[in-house]
Amino acid sequence: MTEPMERRDFLKVGTVARATTEHTEAHVAFSESYQASATIHVSQLYDNLYLLQNAGGNVVLQTGDDGNLLIDSSFALSAPRILETIARLTPQAQAGGILINTHWHLDHTGGNAEMHKAGFRIIAHRKTRERLSTPQISMLTHESIPPSPPEAWPEIGIDERLTIWRNGDVIDVKHIPPSHSDTDLSISFSKADVLHMGDLWFNGIYPVIDEISGGSISGTIHEVEKVLAEVSASTKIIPGHGPVGGKDELQKFHAMLTGIRDKVAALKTQGLSEEAVIAQKPTAEFDATYKEEYMKIDALVGVVYRTL
C-alpha cells in the first residue's frame, strides 16, 4: 500500500512520517528510524576519495594529511554514523576538516550542526546560508520548515567559484545557476576525475525540482547540458541520489528531461490546463526506467508545466 510521496517529508527533519510495516521500502527509507539506523555503504572512488551512501543525499569524503574534506552531511539523525565512518576511513585521527554543502535541503545539510561540533568548517553558496537561517517551505509537503540552528549555518559563502588545493588534488567548487534550487554547487576533483553534481542529478530516479526554492525544468535541463559539455567519458559522476554514474547515464537523464519537457510544452501550447496535461501521463515512456522515489510523478509534471 502506498500513500502520496509528497506527503513524505524527506526535506524536513523532526516530523517525518513514522515507518510502519505498511510502508513501501521507499517510504521506510525516509522514516526517522531509517535515518537513524541505515547502513552507511562505503565505496572507494579514488585513492583517498570515498562515497558514503545512506538515508540522505550522497556524501563524498576526501582524506589526507591536509585534513578531511566532506561533501554534504546527510540527515541530522544519520550524522553520528557518518562521523563514525569518517573516523574509520581516516588514517590519522583528525578532528574536523572542511564541509561543503551542495545545497540547502536537509537530506544534505541536516548533519551540519553535528559536523560543526566535530570541527568541520562549513562552506556553501551564500543562499544556502540564507535558506538555512530562515523559515522555508518544503517542496514535497508544502509544510513550513523552521530555521536550522546557527551551528548548522555555513561560515564561508561562495557566490560563483572557489578553488581548494587539498590532499594532492585541485577541487573546483562552482555555483550552478537556478535549476534544482537556487543554492546548488557542483564540486569536481581534477586528479581523481570525480564530479559531485548534488541534486542537479538523480541517477535512475525521477528528480525533485524545488520550484519553491527557485528551481525549474528549463534551468535543470540547461545546467545538465553544461555539465555534459564539460565531463569526459571517464569522469565518475556522483548524483545527489542514486548510484555513481558517468556521462552515458547523465545523457539518458537529459533525454528523459527533454522528452517530458517537450511533451508537456506541446500540450500546454494547445491550451491544456495543468490538470489535463498531468492526466495525459507525459512521462509514460520513461516510467519503467525511472523510479518515483521522492517526488510524485504528477507533482513533477506540474513543476514542468509551471516552470517551462
Q: Using the rule CB under 5 A, which residue among 199, 223, 293, 298 binds Zn ion? A: 199
HSE-up of 302 (CA within 13 Å, CB side)? 13
- Alpha-carbon torsion angle 90, 94, 96, 100, nearest 10: -40
Of 49-57, 158-166, 229-237, 267-275: span binding Zn ion (CB under 5 A): 49-57
Distance in angstroms between the alpha carbons of the first and the last residue of the chain: 33
Place of cell 523559515: 135
Cα–Cα–Cα angle for 110, 111, 115, nearest 5°? 150
Note whether 182 binds Zn ion by CB under 5 A: no
x/- string (CB under 5 A) for Zn ion, residues 248-287? ----------------------------------------
Note whether 178 binds Zn ion by CB under 5 A: no
- Alpha-carbon torsion angle 206, 207, 208, 214, nearest 10: -140
Q: Using the rule CB under 5 A, which residue among 215, 219, 239, 240 binds Zn ion? A: 240
Note whether 105 binds Zn ion by CB under 5 A: yes
Pairing of strands 120-125, 59-62: unpaired
Please, which residue, 30 or 153, has the CB nearer to Zn ion? 30
Near Zn ion in 54-73, by CB under 5 A: 57
Note whether 107 binds Zn ion by CB under 5 A: yes
Handedness of CA 101, 103, 108, 111 (dihedral sign): positive
x/- string (CB under 5 A) for Zn ion, residues 130-169? ----------------------------------------
